Chain A
Amino acid sequence: MMHRPHHAFGLCLAIVIVLSSLIWHPEHSQADGPKEYQIKVAFLYHFATFVDWPSSTYKDTDGHLRICIMGKDPFGESLDATLRTKKIGSHPLEIYRNPSTTTLKHCHMLYLAAAQSSQLRTYRQQYGSANVLTVGENDIFIQHGGMIKFFLDDQKVRFAINPDAINKTNLKVSSKLLRLAKIISP
């Protein structure tokens, strides 16, 4: 006795699927927003502009500002494509992926892929007291002394800053960056 109405339901379903498949909008088929990590690349660029490194960290006045990625690179080509031609003041950007211990000491910004979060302590032993801005993806990273972490809030990329970790270095973070960040401590 319940069959008739659900027949109708099935019919509706079929009609919708068939008819909607007839509607084809090829010109808008890629209406997707940017991918999460493309946004994060832009954030890395802004972090570089809103943080001041001591001049001693650059080779000379036109020296490179080095961004180092540890672990499996989630950014892919967008990192190089977006940042290759950019300059922060007079400093061109340079990107290293999984650099050696010697190069690690010269990184200005160190990004740790999520799986590397707990390795921060090991890297810090390697770069010692160098002024490295560390950027990561989760709480574990912050617990290990990380400075900036990304998080998603309602499909929007946000960032949180751990000022305690930054105050231990000679890095100067602009008040604007601090104002837009969520302030956290481990």
Chain B
Amino acid sequence: MTGFSTTQNFPHQIVAPLKKMRMATLLLIIMTGTAFGEISDLSSNTDLTELSLEELMSVEVTSVSKKKQKLSKSAAAIFVITQEDIRRSGVTSIPEALRMAPGIQVARGSNNQWNISSRGFNERFTNKLLVLIDGRTVYNPLFAGVAWETQDTMLEDIDRIEVIRGPGGALWGVNAVNGVINIITKHAQDTQGLLVSGVTGTEEGIVSVRQGGSHGSDFQYRLFAKYFNRDTSFNAVGAHDDTRMFRSGFRTDWQPATQDRVMVQGELYTGNGGQQSTVATTTTFPYAFTLGNEDLEMSGGHFLTRWEHTWNSGSDMALQFFYDRYERRENTVKATIDTFDVDFQHRFAFLSHQEILWGLEYRYWMDDLQNTPGTAVFPDSQSFNLVSGFLQDEITVIPDTLIVTIGTKLSHNHFTGFEYQPSGRFLWTPMDGHSLWGAISRAVRVPSRLEDNIRLTLPANSTTPFPTLVRGNQSFKSEELLAYEVGYRLNTFEWITFDITGFYNQYDNIRGTRVVSLAPPTGTLENNLEVDSLGVELGSDVQLQDWWRIRGAYTYINMWVEGPINTALSTTGRGTPHHQGSIRSLMTLPYQVEFDSWLRISDNLPAPNIAGYLELDLRLGWKPWPNLDVSLVGQNLLDNHHPEAAPSLFLATQPTEVQRSVYGKLTWSY
């Protein structure tokens, strides 16, 4: 166990930067005392009509949408996928859209399996990533990850996807260790009228209908329904992963007063798909296994309501409640999970140069599982709570130039009790259009239900020659991260923006396994790995001509894993390519024609040996009338089929390969 000696070194490594931070704090306090000599040029009493149009266009405004605008100026690695990006990339699912973001690993394991991670650790059951859809956490407590196969909506109604790499721990939640993905749908007032869209092609068919309307000037709504059917993809021994899903939902936005906004939304979905898996059918060594096709059923839904209030002073608050149900039925796992969540946030200006944001959250889970000979969890039904609070102080040290943000999250969970996640950040804008930021944060990934008390029977595989029984560990600890990040953003010029981020992450208590017995072979989950990772992420957006735009992204990551990794389940670090790149070209041609192309490249996966790939997507779009959009799209054109995901050792399902696809799409709106 070489791992522990490194652990002993931890305190020294942390203390040094913290001592420096204390110095920085003093410095900061001195600076806050002197820096506030400047006054904004425009007080609210100026007659603005006396300014010329040019001058007016250069005035920065303080608006309600400040929160949204500020994202581009925040001290974190942020990439925004806009509605225009989604439309012009030709993607037909949320996971595919995420391929545009630097720092994000996306591998399609099958039509109903997506391995998605931020900054590494990519595998079938990736954890350490928090995903929110309109403020609703889509966290699956069984494996501390996201069931991507059920996350969908009408892509036309997505406003944007904010991808934040790195620990959002202080603010965002317990699972935001390596990143946060924030999917935001459009306000109902932006989806008025009827929209019908249809996709038909070699691999899938999709029909979506949305109707938006309003009542008076303060209340807008939309209703939508979507159905998709994806064809079986490729696997040498048969894939059996054809998948279909129907979902329907609504959203209403009501503004009872200028300062109040109430949003209500709900959705129901049902679908089914299939997979090839190896399942144990007996409970005594050497066990009997069957390999075969199995069907899976997925269904669920949610209801969410949020009230936002803004005071004249500029402070605001949001109170949100949601309920979510998740159901999945397959041979190995039969689960129902109900989640209830209440969340409150309040932001206010504190003295003249600070902004405080604080919040409280309470979450309650209830699960009901059905044990099978191969996969069992004890007890098979359980409920648990999560309580958390956070406090963040954004201090403007030098107006428009230096902002320091410090904050911490404190939470209490069922498995490990109290956890704290502090972070400190700065954003320095020495000149307009150039910004440099840095951050040091601690984040934790709390144990999942399965890690706590699963009993899993695995067939022999590439890492263990015998069928093995793996047990959960009731004293499993939280995985911990100490992250150092630094980034630079350039947006001085109208025609080019450029963004570079570097990070060094030190993880401790990462999940591995320990052999507890050889006859019969039995292992237990243990926090016995230490991982260091180092990475660089680039993003750039170049407007070459009025009609031609290029967007590029590049990701480098290397992971060093220390500990007894050569056992079943430990695929840590091996599902993440070292290099990934993406270049998109968006051409707006005469006669309302658009021609877009997207080249993606991915390195080999370190192990098991999945070859790297180069793929090309092309899209030809034409808008003969303002309300009709026709397009022809080819995806993954360079290969008949290519594998992207490593087989999972945790649950022995067979990944399939992504096939070439061509489809036509028609969108009509009125």
**Pair from one complex:** yes
- Cβ-based interface call for B39 (8 A): yes
Q: Is the CB of B59 within 8 A of A33?
A: yes
Which chain B positions have C-beta within 8 A of A9? Answer: 18, 21, 408, 422, 424, 442
The reply to whether the CB of A59 lies closer than 8 angstroms to some CB of chain B is no
Within 8 A of A (CB), among B24-68: 25, 28-29, 32-33, 36, 39-40, 42-44, 46-49, 51, 53-54, 56-66
Q: Say yes or no: is B331 at the interface (Cβ < 8 Å to chain A).
A: no
The answer to whether A155 touches B408, judged by C-beta atoms less than 8 angstroms apart, is: no
Binary B-proximity of A1-15 (CB < 8 A = 1, otherwise 0): 110111011111101
Expressed in whole angstroms, the Cα–Cα distance for A118 and B347 within the complex equals 33
Does B15 lie at the interface of the complex (its beta carbon under 8 Å from any beta carbon of A)? yes
Q: Which of A70-111 contact B (CB under 8 A)?
A: 71-72, 74, 82-83, 86
Whether the Cβ atoms of B352 and A28 lie closer than 8 Å is yes
Give the complex CA separation of A5 and B354 in angstroms: 26
A57, CB-defined interface residue at 8 Å: no
Contact of A34 among B32, B53, B58, B59 (CB under 8 A): B59
Which of B61, B217, B395 touches A152 (beta carbons < 8 Å)?
B61
Query: Is A117's CB under 8 angstroms from B54's CB?
Result: no
List of B residues within 8 angstroms of A28 by Cβ:
36, 39, 352
A47 → chain B closest CB, angstroms: 9
Whether B384 sits at the interface, judged by CB under 8 Å, is: no
**Interface: A36 (CB within 8 A):** yes
Tell me if B353 counts as interface (CB < 8 A to partner A): yes
Expressed in whole angstroms, the Cα–Cα distance for A172 and B643 within the complex equals 60
Among B189-197, B229-237, B240-248, the one that faces the other chain is B189-197
Across the interface, name the chain A residue whose C-beta is closest to B191: A140
Chain A residues proximal to chain B, CB less than 8 Å: 1-2, 4-6, 8-13, 15-17, 19-21, 23-26, 28-36, 38-39, 41-43, 45-46, 50, 71-72, 74, 82-83, 86, 113-118, 138-140, 143, 152, 154-158, 176-177, 180, 186
For residue B56, which residues in chain A have a CB less than 8 angstroms away from its CB? 39, 42-43, 46, 157
Residue from the list A2, A36, A82, A155 in contact with B49, Cβ < 8 A = A82
- Which segment of B6-14, B107-115, B576-584, B602-610 sits at the interface? B6-14
How many residues belonging to B are interface residues under a CB distance threshold of 8 Å? 70
**Beyond known contacts A8-B22, A35-B62: 5 more, CB 8 A cutoff:** A2-B14, A23-B33, A31-B352, A36-B63, A117-B189
Does A1 contact B7, Cβ atoms closer than 8 Å?
yes
**CA distance in complex: A71, B219 (Å):** 12
Measured between alpha carbons, how far is A24 from B33 in the docked complex, in Å?
9
Residues of B within 8 A of A26 (CB): 352
Chain A residues with CB under 8 Å of B66's CB are 155
Judge whether A25 and B217 touch: CB under 8 Å: no
- Shortest distance between the CB of B175 and any CB in chain A (Å): 19
**Which of A12, A83, A158 neighbours the largest number of chain B CB atoms within 10 Å of its CB?**
A12
Give the distance in Å from the alpha carbon of A34 to the alpha carbon of B64 in the complex: 12
Which residues of B have CB within 8 Å of A2? 10-11, 14, 480
Given contacts A45-B49, A82-B48, contact A118 B351 (CB under 8 A): no
Question: In the complex, what residue of chain B is closest to A70 when comparing beta carbons?
Answer: B217
A158 CA / B226 CA spacing, docked (Å)? 36
B600 to chain A, nearest CB (A): 29
- Within the complex, what minimum Cβ distance (angstroms) separates A73 from chain B? 9
Complex Cα distance, B36 from A83, in Å, reads 34
Contact check: which of A12, A31, A156 meets B22 at CB < 8 Å? A12
Answer yes or no: B214 CB below 8 A from chain A CBs: yes
> Do A13 and B39 touch across chains, with their CB atoms under 8 A apart?
no
Is the pair A115, B217 in contact by a Cβ cutoff of 8 Å? yes
Do B33 and A5 touch across chains, with their CB atoms under 8 A apart?
no
CB-contacts of B208-224 with A (<8 A) = 214, 217-218, 220
Distance, CA A131 to CA B189, complexed state (A): 27
A8 touches B214 (CB 8 A): no
